[in-house]
Amino acid sequence: MDFTPSSAQQMLVSTAREFLRRHCPPERVQAWALDERGFDEKLWRQMAELGWPGLLVSPELGGSGGSMLDVVLLVEQMGYACLPGPFITSAVVVTSLLAAAANADQQKRLLPALASGELITTLALTEENGSGDSDDVALACRVPGRLTGRKLFVKDAHVADVLAVVVRESEGLGLVLLPSERRGISRIQLAAISGEKMFEVVFDDVEVTAADRLGAAGYGGALLTPALEAGALARTAEMVGGAQRILDLAVEHARTRVQGGRPIGGYQAIQHACADLVRDVDTVRGLLYLAAWKAAEGLPAASDVAMAKAHAAEACLAVARRGHQIFGAIGYCEEHPLHLIHKRIQAAALDFGDTQHHLETVARSIGLR
């Protein structure tokens, strides 16, 4: 296994790093978090011009035919910049679903628009009881038929053109693609400490046609699993990027903050605290790249994804907490980048399965049930 980025991946990373450095300074990111929309359409269009939304779309349909390793490298830079927006849900999770399950007509109609950034999608999975586990899906729907009920914690539903809704059919789990403006669909914004925009989506006697179905009846679970793994990998990459940013900020602070007549980085306690940050960031990144490499190579990766996500939830949060100790009171001010990065890591740790969920996956992989 060689995780050294290819020349194309190195260009992707360097382009993303410079683009995000110029267009996502901390003050803009903080303003987006406080804004009702939390999203910059102009920035999204610029990202689309770079081909980012089409990374997982085949060249025949307007994309670049990239891999999950490409996605991870890109999203790591997004996490470093604390970039908000629907990239993971739209360009990773739902795009993965469409690439794997959509029929030819759906792919020709939706994937080129996704690749160009003209279309934004999101996933509606979490039930009214707060469970995001596909086994707990209870929202019932016959296809064709009518849909009544609600989904919670639907990210970026206010800017999504299409909702990929997970439903319970008589045959098992199903997936339906519903235009967000279809009659009977409404959205209620939910509070989120991370600044991310989440919604309760209400379905009031919404028409669901046979053409709305994604994949075969009853096979939604099998189709959803790899897409959720892709989301977990992307969120892990986001956490790693945020943790790396905290590490860089902490080291710079330790070099320049003078106390007792010398930089605080000269004190052993601060030196060891920063060394802890390096250890945690590098171990998570190693697990992340291994899981992404296996996914890109078509190898079984479920337990690797679970290990990376579970460890990131603990290690990256530990980095954020230790960062606050190094910075002291200034790190708790809203104007300081650490304030928002910590919240984003906390949100990502819960998305696409929390630590307990993924540890159970690892336990099953070693024969414990």
Question: What pTM was computed for the model?
Answer: 0.96
Rounded to an integer, the average pLDDT of 204-209 is 97
Local confidence band at 352 (pLDDT 50, 70, 90 cut-offs)? very high
Q: Is the pLDDT of residue 262 over 70?
A: yes
Pair 127, 74 in one domain? no
Q: Point out the domain boundary residue: 80, 115, 150.
A: 115
Query: Any alpha helices (H) in 213-267, and if so which ranges?
Result: 220-256
Which pLDDT value is given to residue 205? 97
pLDDT of residue 4: 81
Same domain, 76 and 96: yes
Does 337 sit behind a cis peptide bond, omega within 30 degrees of 0 on the bond before it? no
Please report the pLDDT score of residue 131 as a whole number. 84
**pLDDT above 80 (res 2):** no
206 and 320: one domain? Answer: no
Q: Is residue 341 part of a domain?
A: yes
Tell me, yes or no, whether 212 and 159 share the same domain.
Answer: yes
Supply the CATH number for residue 190's domain.
Answer: 2.40.110.10
Q: Which domain holds residue 203?
A: 121-216
Q: Give the per-residue pLDDT at 66.
A: 96
pLDDT tens digits for 182-205? Answer: 999 999 999 988 889 999 999 999
Residue 369 above 90 pLDDT? no
CATH of the domain at 257: 1.20.140.10
Q: Is residue 292 one of the residues assigned to a domain?
A: yes
Q: Is the pLDDT of residue 3 over 80?
A: no
Same domain, 68 and 134: no
pLDDT > 90 in the chain, percent = 87
Total domains in the fold of the chain: 3
Q: What is the pLDDT of residues 158-182, one digit of tens each?
A: 999 999 999 999 889 999 999 999 9
For residue 1, pLDDT beyond 70: no
* pLDDT higher than threshold 70 for residue 295: yes
Residue 71's CATH number? 1.10.540.10
Q: Of 87, 115, 143, which closes a domain?
A: 115
Work out the mean pLDDT of the chain and round it to a whole number. 95
Q: Would you say residue 63 lies in a domain?
A: yes
Cβ neighbourhood burial of 247 (10 Å; 0-12, 13-18, 19+): buried
Residue 40 shares a structural domain with residue 96? yes
CA 23 to chain centre: 20
What are 163's strand-pairing partners? 122, 178
Q: Are residues 279 and 296 in the same domain?
A: yes
The confidence score (pLDDT) of residue 257 equals 94
Region of poorest pLDDT, from 73-77, 220-224, 233-237? 220-224
Instruction: Examine the pLDDT at 325 and tell me if it is beyond 70.
Output: yes
User: Cα 105 to chain center, whole Å?
Assistant: 27
Q: Which among 348, 350, 365, 351 has a CA at the least distance from the CA of 307?
A: 365
| Domain end among 93, 115, 137 | 115
Summarize the confidence of residues 202-229 as an average pLDDT: 93
* Same domain for 80 and 32: yes
* pLDDT digits 0-9 by tens, 112-139: 999 999 999 999 999 998 888 888 899 9
